[in-house]
Structure 1
Amino acid sequence: MTLSRIAGIAAMLIGSTVAAQAQDRSDWPSSFTVGTASQGGTYFAYGSGWANLVADELGMSGGGEVTGGPMQNMALVHTGEAAFGMTTMGPAAESLGGTNPIAPGLEMDMACAMFPMYQTPFSVTALSSSGIESISDIPDGAKIGFGPAGSTSDTYFPRMLEELGVNFDRRNGGWTDLGGQLQDGLLDVIAFAAGIPIPAVSQLEVQTDVNIIEFTEEEQAQILEAFPVSEFTIPADTYTSLDEPARAVSMWNFAIANCDLPESFVYEATNVVMSDNDRMVAIHRAARSTTPDNWDKNKVLMWHPGAARWFNENGASIPDDMIHGN
C-alpha cells in the first residue's frame, strides 16, 4: 500500500472520529454553571474547581456560581437555571418532599444524583479568648453565625443546638463575612457545616487563636438520634488548632445534575471528575471521599442516566428503579 493511500485512510478515520464527536455533542449545552455556595466555604472552592476541570477537559465554557447553598442549588438545578449543583442529603430529601423554603410545595424531582462528593461535618468554632471550649459553655443568648440562609448549616445546626438546650441569637451570612465578624467580636460562635478543611476556619487560624469545639459522646448520641446524620471524626491534622481528633456528626454531599441534560454530556462530565481522584484532591482535600465506592451513600435522589451508566460500568450496582426515566 502506498504512503499516499495510507495517509488517505488515516485522514478518513480522523475525519470520521471528529464527525462522530461532533454528532455526539449535538445536543450538549454550549456552556454550563455549577451552583456552589458562598465564598470562603468548601462548596465554593470544591465546586468551582470541578467546574473548571470539566470545562477544560471537555473543551467548553463552564464555571462555579456563588449561591445560597444546597437548598438554592436544588431549586436552580430542578428548574434548569444551573446545569449542575451541589447538595446534602437532608436538603435534598426536603426539596423532594416539597418543603424547600425557597419554593414551598414544589417537589424538586428534576435534580438528579451525579456523583458522591464528601461528608459535611457539623462543628463549632469560637475565639480562644472567648473561653468557650464546649457546647455547654456557649452563653445564653449568644450571637451564632449559621452560614448563608437556606444552607445546610442554617437548616440543621440551629435545630441541633436547640436540641442540646442552647439559647441563641441567630445570624446569617457568607462564611468569610462571618469569620470576620467573629474576629471582630460581633459574633460569639460560628456553627459550621462544610467540608473540611473549611477555608474560613483555616484563615481564622492564621490571624488569631480559635477553639474547634467538639460534641461530647452524650451530645453526639443525642444528635444522631434526632437528625439524619452519621458519626464523624475531624482528623487532628485538619487544623493547627486541633491537638487530637474532634468528635462531630456529618451529612453526605452529592453533586447533582438537571435530569433533562443529555446522557452523554453527564456521562463525560462524571468521567472527568471520577476517573482521577488525585486531580480532585488537588482542588480540595475533602475530595478524598469523591470515589466510586461511595455511590451507595445516595439513598434519596434518582440518578441521572448518564451518571448511573458511568458508575455501573465502574463497579456500582445502581438499580433500574433508582435511575431517572426508567
Structure 2
Amino acid sequence: MNKITLAITATAFAFSSASMAADNQSDWPSSMTVGTASQGGTYYIYGSGWANLINQKLDTNIGAEITGGPMQNVSMVQMGEHDFGLVTLGPAREALEGKSPIMPGIEHDNVRAVFPMYPTIFHITALQSSEISSVDDLVGKRVGVGPAGGTNSVYFPRFFDLLGYDVDTLEGGAGDQTGQMQDGLLDAFAFGAGLPVSAVSQVEAQSAVNVFSYSEAEIDTIVEAYPEISTAVIPADTYNSMDEDLPTVSMWNFVVTSADMPESLVYEIVKTVMENNDAMQQIHRSAEETLPENYIHNTQIPFHPGAVRWFEENGYDIPEELEG
C-alpha cells in the first residue's frame, strides 16, 4: 500500500469515526438539568461541578438546579422535569415503592441509577457558647435540618423520635441555617452530606463550634431500625474544631436519571466520571469515594443500560435484577 493510499485510508477512517461519534450523539438532548440541593451543602457544589466537567468533556449543556434535595430530585426525574438528580438511597427507595411524600402512591418506576457518588455523613454542629455538645443536649432546642424534602429533613426527625428525644426541627437552606445559628435563631444545625460540609466549615472559621453525633448505643439503634443506614467515621482532620475521629451514621448517594435517557449518553457520562477521579476530587473532596467499586452500595434502584454497559465492560457485575 503506497503513501497516497495510506493517507486516503487514514482520512476515510477519521471521517468515518467522526461520523459515528456524531451519529452517536444525534439523540442526545440539546440541554439538560441536574437537581442538586441548597447552596452551602455538598450536593450543590458536587452537582454543579459534575455538570461543568461533563459539559467540558462531552460538549453537552447540563445546568445545575437548586432544589430541596434528594426527595424532590427523584420525583423531578420521575416526572421528566429534571434529566438527572442527586439522591440518597433511602428517599430513592421509598419513592420507588410509591412512598414519596411529594408524590404519594406513585411508584417511581422510570428512575435509573447512573453512578455512585459518596456516603452522606450525618453530624450535628452547635456553637461552643451554647454548651450543646451531645444529642441529648438538643431536647427542647431548635435544630435546623436543611431544606424541606432533603435527606436531613426526613431522617434527623426520624432519628430523634426513634431515640426518644423531643427536638424542635426546622427546615431551610444549609447556608441560611448556619447563619441563623450564629444569630441565635437556631440552637444547632443537623446535617448530613459529603465531607466537609462547606456551610459548617464557613461557620467554624468565624465562631468556635462543637461538632458531634450519636453515642455508640444510639448508632446501634439507628442502624438496626433503618437498613439503608450504615456506620461511619468522620476523620479528625475534617474540621478544625475536631481533635479526634467521630463515629456516626451514613447513607450512600447516587446520581439517577430517567430510563428514557439515551444509552450512549449515560455510557459516556459514566466513563467520564469513573475515569477522571482526580478531576472529580477537584470539585469536592467527597468525590474520593466516587469510584466504580462503590456501585455495590446500590441494591434497590435499577441501573440505566448505559451504566450497566460501562460497568460490565470494566469487570463490575451488575446483578440481573438491577439491570434496568
TMscore range, shorter length: over 0.9
Equivalent position of 2:236 in the other structure? 236
1:226-265 pair list within 5 angstroms: 226-227=225-226, 228-265=228-265
Tell me the TM-score normalised to structure 2 length: 0.97
- Residue deviations 1:150-170, cap 9 Å, x none? 100011111101222221222
1:6-85 pair list within 5 angstroms: 6-85=6-85
Distance in 1 (CA, whole Å) between partners of 2:245 and 2:65 is 33
CA RMSD of aligned residues (A): 1.2
Report whether the alignment pairs 1:102 with 2:85.
Answer: no
Equivalent position of 1:168 in the other structure? 167
Q: Is the 8 A contact 1:55 1:63 kept in 2?
A: no
1:1-326 pair list within 5 angstroms: 3-140=3-140, 142-227=141-226, 228-324=228-324
Per-residue deviation at 1:3?
5.0
**Which AA in structure 2 matches 1:271?**
K
Count of matched residue positions in the alignment of Structure 1 and Structure 2: 323
Distance in 1 (CA, whole Å) between partners of 2:97 and 2:271 is 30
**Which AA in structure 1 matches 2:269?**
A
Structure 1 SS opposite 2:133: coil
Structure 2 SS opposite 1:236: coil
Tell me the TM-score normalised to structure 1 length: 0.96
Q: Is the 8 A contact 1:115 1:254 kept in 2?
A: yes
Per mean C-alpha deviation after superposition, the further-off stretch among 75-84 and 152-161 is 75-84
Identity rate of aligned residues, in percent? 50
- Residue deviations 1:163-204, cap 9 Å, x none? 222212221111000011011000001110111100100101
**Which AA in structure 1 matches 2:155?**
Y
Per-residue deviation at 1:133?
0.9
**Which AA in structure 1 matches 2:162?**
E
- Residue deviations 1:75-94, cap 9 Å, x none? 11112221111111100111
Structure 2 SS opposite 1:317: coil
Per-residue deviation at 1:2?
5.8
Per mean C-alpha deviation after superposition, the further-off stretch among 315-324 and 101-110 is 315-324
Q: Is the 8 A contact 2:299 2:322 kept in 1?
A: no
Distance in 1 (CA, whole Å) between partners of 2:89 and 2:305 is 19
Unpaired segments ≥5 residues, structure 1: none
**Which AA in structure 1 matches 2:183?**
D
Distance in 2 (CA, whole Å) between partners of 1:90 and 1:320 is 21
Distance in 1 (CA, whole Å) between partners of 2:215 and 2:299 is 28
